[in-house]
Structure 1
Amino acid sequence: MSFPGQQVEKPKDVYGIIFDAGSTGSRIHIFHFISYGPGKQMTLVKDTFREVKPGLSAYAANIDKAAKSLIGMLDEAKMIVPIDLRHSCPIALKATAGLRLLGPETSEFILTKVHELFKTYPFLMIDNSIEIMSGIDEGVFSWITVNYMLDLLVNNQPTVVALDLGGGSTQLTFVPFNPATLAQAPENFKKNITLFGTNYKLYTHSYLGLGLMSARFQMMDNIPGDPPKLTTPCFNPGITDTLSKEGIKYIVSARPDHNGFEPCYSIAQGLIKKNVQLVPELKDHRIMAFSYFYDRGVDSRLIDPAGGNVTVGNFLEAAKNVCSNHLKDQPYLCMDLTYIYSILHDGYTLPLEKNIQLTKKVKGIEISWALGAMFDVFAKATYYGSSAHLYSPQALPPTSTPHRLFRPPLLPTRSSPPPPPPHTLPPTSTPHRLFPCPPSTPPHRLFPPTSTPHRLFPPHLYSPHALPPTSTPHTLFPPTSPLSHSSAHLSLSLLGLFCPPPSLSSPALLCPPLSLPLRSSAHLSSHDNSLHLSCLPCLHHHHHF
């Protein structure tokens, strides 16, 4: 898939690796792109996909085994990525609902082990490349993947709705036709992104705990005992099964009486109506559903493995049929189909005749959030000093935190208040800012967020030879960062902040203490992409700014 652009010049092979650490398994996507230079869109050549089960969250009681479960897929990635491109091949792991539900302490231990493992491989790691992904990002990245693969992100074409049903959560993302949909939606359901030069105002939400596997437990009655039991009206009385959760094995069976579709649907409907926000206009959109939506469509023979179109009513009919004739080899199919029907009809208010496209792949590429996340990782890698040829600043994929160095003009204007003095900067939730940004302006960050604030002030406390230990050097740009930007100007009115570096390949050091305050300035040339820094004597000999 490629986008219209300028004349193709010197195409380059580009690789990237995304691990999808889901609740039911860990998956690797090894992406191979062709890049045609700054400002031009990449062509996706291949997505090599592998999966292992169980997922990382299954190793809560044995954390050392969690990271080791990824070794086989890492070794395969090492074989696929050419030797001369491994150092520039970014790698990232994004965990979803499974680790979110474990709690911060256990999930942090697991991710730390994964980080230690990744460092033993020759791939590019950037800050925050191993993390628990927010539900909003998961939904947005899935929407990007679907619409990118369908070539709908060019020429202002109407985009499709992305419905993703995972094991621990489910996501809905689309561009509303009706302005009232966004106006009436909660703030955490809205997301503005700029993708390939076009702005999109998205309605997006991730319902944590409403994934298919999580919903199963909520649709059962827990009966303590040894072993503990789970009962549900969604099981045939003649069927039993075992189900494990967080290391505990349960015996699953039908309720003593009143089983079948109606009591099963009553439980699913109550769960959905209690938790899902109604979206009336969704019925007017083209909808594409994947993950467990697709899997259960195949299992119930509504579609063949190639994918296809179904109606909401088809899910209802399939659920009633399966609940009346339980399949011993698929004991949960009655429950799953009933739950899916309730999400679509009771949650998203889709009528029975509404058509939905179920798919697993588009043009041979697996549909998931991973491809959208890969664009995000490339954007971060670009500004952290690698893969700079992939994007121009006008064609950055969206991120939950804008990774822009600055947006001219940065200096205060008459309509904006001047920055506070360097020694009295107010605390912010994001400490890596030269100036506080107005509320309507995206953050102008020079540094990625880290757990250790990279404060540049006050300069009189440090000399270049006495910098406090941090996990990241106090540099304007990473030492190996070949910065590329079409046009930008940066002026810093900060006391003794930076001395001119010998070259872009050297860190911009903090100025040593001087008897005379300095006013620093910086200019980024649009002709040769070089950064010019200079220290200018301040007009005031005292600390009056």
Structure 2
Amino acid sequence: MGLSRKEQVFLAILGASGVSGLTALILLLVEATSVLLPTDIKFGIVFDAGSSHTSLFLYQWPADKENGTGVVSQALACQVEGPGISSYTSDPAQAGESLRGCLEEALVLIPEAQHRKTPMFLGATAGMRLLRQKNSSQARDIFAAVTQVLGRSPVDFWGAELLAGQDEGAFGWITVNYGLGTLVKYSFTGEWIQPPEETLVGALDMGGASTQITFVPGGPILDKSTQADFRLYGSNYSVYTHSYLCFGRDQMLSRLLVGLVQAFSNFYYTFHFLNLTSGQPLSTVNATIWEFCQRPWKLVEASYPGQDRWLRDYCASGLYILTLLHEGYRFSEETWPSLEFRKQAGGVDIGWTLGYMLNLTGMIPADAPAQLWAVSYGVWVAKVVFMVLTLVAVVGAALVQLFWLQD
């Protein structure tokens, strides 16, 4: 005697539910794979307290780092209002108060939960080095005022210190080479790689009160006081670095002019004004500077309206830079085209602060990326589909059974 129609439907639904349920069970047994979630972002704040102005730089990097060193990017550059902190000898408290505005801008960009984990450092350069030589008690009072203000901030204040000239030059060298991608760069294969050492470049910097030269020499460094050693991205570097105090632009011009107020990375800004940053030969640089210096002053004023504040200094500073590079550092007609005058490299401001932060990341423990176990999207969708089909089949079988009993 054959099965009735209802019995056939019931058995078919029951069989379908069994197959669907077995398939779902098999998919549940598919091995999950490890998935690494994106790492958190860490932050760091550095104040560059120069001779005639102070700047704040906010940096960020993935918390897992790359071969022991953070891959750092610049998140904020803020110019502190007013002169450099060495100018506040008559009112030291104001030196600290002047920093609040830029600090508040940086704190807005850092998640509140990250504040206590964010290191902050103030490095004072040649202006404060000169002040300490002239009047050490005034320098101490200014550092105390700065420390009092920054120490009360919600971040991890690492101190306010006088940065040695050699450190300023060495950290500036790191910044330049990092920005140019000669320390580490992202390859087409999606990996961080280290370029050949031959691609490293030297760095020249000129501030208001000092000038620095730093490079990897071709042989051993005989005077160890001019040697700086670093370990970055798993490699060791030894550079020659020397800082010449009182040979910065402002200090030089103060012997010629009265009331100088400009402060910048003066190699770039002076040569940018003279349109000499594009690798022109030394003869062209020399001719351009002398031609500018020989113009009548009224013609110069008429040619560059709105630039009265710095216009009077470009002749003297141009001649000084030309003399320093040609007569002092011995750049000749043949080697001059190797010089590049830049304000930024790789999207970051050139100076010692990024180099300091890169070196600092080596001392900050890395955070391991969070790990989850997961299956592929296709397997997950299949699981859901077969579980739903199993549920529908079971409910369908139950309904057939229910109507069967009612009959």
Q: Taking structure 1 as the reference length, what is the TM-score of the superposition?
A: 0.53
Mapped contact 1:38–1:390 kept (Cα < 8 A):
no
For 2:367 and 2:66, the matched residues in 1 are separated by 6
2:203 pairs, out of 131, 141, 162, with 162
For 2:227 and 2:151, the matched residues in 1 are separated by 36
Q: What code does the residue aligned with 1:317 have?
A: A
For 2:237 and 2:119, the matched residues in 1 are separated by 27
2:232 is aligned to: 195
For 2:164 and 2:227, the matched residues in 1 are separated by 14
SS in structure 2 of the partner of residue 125 of structure 1: strand
SS in structure 1 of the partner of residue 330 of structure 2: coil
Which structure is higher in helix share? 2
User: Is the counterpart of residue 141 in structure 1 residue 171 in structure 2?
Assistant: yes
For 1:99 and 1:151, the matched residues in 2 are separated by 32
- 5+ residue gaps in structure 2? 1-34, 184-193, 302-307, 369-407
User: Is the counterpart of residue 78 in structure 1 residue 59 in structure 2?
Assistant: no
Q: What code does the residue aligned with 1:340 have?
A: I
Deviation at 1:359, TM superposition (A): 0.9
Counterparts of 1:108-507 in structure 2, within 5 Å, are 108-126=140-158, 129-153=159-183, 154-158=194-198, 159-177=200-218, 179=219, 182-183=221-222, 186-218=223-255, 220=256, 242-243=259-260, 291-303=265-277, 308-325=278-295, 326=297, 327-328=300-301, 329=308, 330-353=311-334, 354-355=336-337, 356-380=339-363, 382=364, 388-389=365-366
C-alpha change, 1:72 and 1:78, in structure 2 (3 Å) is same
Deviation at 1:37, TM superposition (A): 4.9
How many pairs does the alignment contain?
Answer: 305
Mapped contact 2:268–2:341 kept (Cα < 8 A):
yes
For 1:371 and 1:74, the matched residues in 2 are separated by 17
Deviation at 1:95, TM superposition (A): 0.3
Q: Taking structure 2 as the reference length, what is the TM-score of the superposition?
A: 0.70
1:415 is aligned to: none
C-alpha change, 1:193 and 1:363, in structure 2 (3 Å) is closer
Give the structure, 1 or 2, with the largest relative contact order (CA under 8 Å, sep 6 or more). 2
Mapped contact 2:39–2:367 kept (Cα < 8 A):
no
For 1:390 and 1:51, the matched residues in 2 are separated by 32
1:92 is aligned to: 121
**RMSD over equivalenced CA pairs, Å:** 2.3
Give the % identical residues. 31
Bigger Rg over Cα: 2
For 1:115 and 1:31, the matched residues in 2 are separated by 21
Deviation at 1:40, TM superposition (A): 5.1
Q: Deviations over 1:401-460 (max 9, x none)?
A: xxxxxxxxxxxxxxxxxxxxxxxxxxxxxxxxxxxxxxxxxxxxxxxxxxxxxxxxxxxx
For 2:287 and 2:243, the matched residues in 1 are separated by 27
For 2:314 and 2:65, the matched residues in 1 are separated by 49
For 1:118 and 1:320, the matched residues in 2 are separated by 46
Mapped contact 2:57–2:74 kept (Cα < 8 A):
no
For 1:377 and 1:201, the matched residues in 2 are separated by 17
C-alpha change, 1:310 and 1:90, in structure 2 (3 Å) is farther
Q: Deviations over 1:502-539 (max 9, x none)?
A: xxxxxxxxxxxxxxxxxxxxxxxxxxxxxxxxxxxxxx
C-alpha change, 1:124 and 1:310, in structure 2 (3 Å) is farther
Q: What code does the residue aligned with 1:321 have?
A: E
Mapped contact 2:227–2:240 kept (Cα < 8 A):
yes
1:12 pairs, out of 40, 49, 61, with 40
